[in-house]
Amino acid sequence: MSKTKTHIYKNNPAVAEAFARYLQKQISTSDVFHIALSGGSTPKALFEYIAKNYAREIDWQKVHLYWGDERCVSPSHEESNYGMTELKLLRHINIPFVNVHRVLGTRNPAEEAKRYGEEIVWNLPLKNGLPIFDMVLLGMGGDGHTASIFPHQMELLTTDKTCAVAIHPESGQKRITLTGKVINNAKEIHFLVTGASKTKVVKEIFDKTGDYEKYPASFIDHAEWWMDEAAAEGVS
């Protein structure tokens, strides 16, 4: 297997700046760009940086935004990934309303997982019978979860569904998540992971040691990892 590509920077803001520059270049060379966004602290820093520095440098007419996972809450709820993105990015950019494909977090979760999956299949080209995103952004939790695929629901990595209902292991909160097969079908997958709380899990995933087989993030293929020095400390 080819060596996992890593991009390591001093801190969270530096990761956000570097990835924003890369993302702007990728969008500029595309006619249409379907990207699944992530929640979490590093994507939040990325959205802030883009809003401040690239709001007018990116042709948002060709960008279609989706969410790799969303909490089953209203868009105004403090835990809404869409709500965070709207605050940090969407209100600062001129993106057509129809290009923003949010999860309807207050609908019945099982029905919304089906509906959102159909919206994605309707809008994206297919490969291997699955929708193909131009890019999927992912974070990683301290338990090795990614999107909202948690260690106690590893079956969400291999289900044939496009989206599924996930359950947070501690809070029991329901979420809608892209499934592993759809994530792995993307043209590009980028992990944005920062902070010392991720060091141990990142090292186990890269070295394939310890509990790595319990981490959903271990089963994401061909991903590039954008990290700060703290998260990447154990990566050679």
CB 137 within 8 A of CB 169: no
Nearer to ligand 6PG (CB atom), residue 117 or residue 141? 141
**Per-residue contact flags (x/-) with ligand 6PG for residues 90 to 129, judged by CB under 6 A:** ----------------------------------------
Nearer to ligand 6PG (CB atom), residue 32 or residue 100? 100
Q: Under the criterion CB under 6 A, does residue 65 sit at the interface with ligand 6PG? A: no
Render the burial of 8-36: b for 16+ CB within 10 Å, e for the rest.
bbeebbbbbbbbbebbeeebeebeebbbb
Q: Under the criterion CB under 6 A, does residue 39 sit at the interface with ligand 6PG? A: yes
Q: Under the criterion CB under 6 A, does residue 139 sit at the interface with ligand 6PG? A: yes
Q: Under the criterion CB under 6 A, does residue 134 sit at the interface with ligand 6PG? A: no
Give residue number: closest CB to ligand 6PG.
139
How far apart, in Å, do the first and last CA atoms of the chain sit?
16
Q: Under the criterion CB under 6 A, does residue 81 sit at the interface with ligand 6PG? A: yes
Q: Under the criterion CB under 6 A, does residue 228 sit at the interface with ligand 6PG? A: no
Q: Under the criterion CB under 6 A, does residue 185 sit at the interface with ligand 6PG? A: no
Q: Under the criterion CB under 6 A, does residue 216 sit at the interface with ligand 6PG? A: no
Q: Under the criterion CB under 6 A, does residue 162 sit at the interface with ligand 6PG? A: no
Q: Which of 72, 90, 130, 147 binds ligand 6PG (CB under 6 A)?
A: 147
Q: Which of 6, 24, 41, 53 binds ligand 6PG (CB under 6 A)?
A: 41
Partners of residue 137 on adjacent β-strands: 190
* Nearest to 232, CA basis, from 206, 211, 213: 206
Nearer to ligand 6PG (CB atom), residue 6 or residue 30? 6
Nearer to ligand 6PG (CB atom), residue 40 or residue 83? 40
Partners of residue 138 on adjacent β-strands: 191
Q: State whether residue 100 is helix, strand or coil.
A: strand
Give just the sign of the alpha carbon dihedral 128, 20, 191, 148.
negative
Q: How far is the CB of 70 from ligand 6PG (least distance, A)?
A: 7
Q: Could you tell me which residues come within 8 angstroms of residue 219 by beta carbon, excluding any fewer than 6 positions away?
A: 154, 157, 180
Q: How far is 33 from 60, CA to CA, in rounded Å?
A: 9
Structure token digits, residue 33: 């760009």
Q: Which amino acid is at 51?
A: A
Binding site residues, ligand 6PG, CB under 6 A: 38-42, 69, 81, 139-141, 145-148
